[in-house]
């Protein structure tokens, strides 16, 4: 929480909010919320958006109680 406050006071409100929403999506296994982080034209080494969605779906199927931690040195 302290990190979020420091970043928010320095103008990084949008970045912190986005990562918080992603964390909520991860913890609640909300695939649609999590997928908002990916561009519609996502292509990483041949992995397209549909591939990433499938991978996250499989992660949620096999693992529980996922958590996310983001540390920003500068925003």
Please write the tens of the pLDDT for every residue from 31-64. Answer: 998 898 889 999 999 999 999 999 999 999 998 8
How crowded is residue 43: how many other Cβ atoms within 10 Å of its Cβ?
10
56 in a domain, yes or no? yes
Domain around 19: 2-62
Question: For the chain, what is the domain count?
Answer: 1
The answer to whether 29 touches 71, Cβ cutoff 8 Å, is no
Q: Is the dihedral of CA 74, 65, 1, 38 positive or negative?
A: positive
Whole-model pTM: value is 0.68
27 in a domain, yes or no? yes
What's the pLDDT band for 27 if we cut at 50, 70, 90?
confident
Tell me if residue 4 falls in helix, strand or coil: helix
Burial class (CB in 10 A: 0-12, 13-18, 19+), 73: exposed
């Amino acid at each position: 929480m302290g990190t979020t406050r420091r970043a928010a006071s320095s103008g990084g409100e949008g970045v912190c909010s986005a990562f918080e929403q992603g964390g909520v999506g991860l913890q609640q296994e909300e695939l649609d919320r999590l997928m908002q982080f990916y561009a519609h034209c996502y292509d990483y080494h041949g992995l397209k958006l549909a591939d990433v969605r499938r991978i996250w779906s499989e992660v949620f199927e096999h693992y529980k109680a996922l958590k996310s931690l983001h540390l920003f040195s500068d925003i």
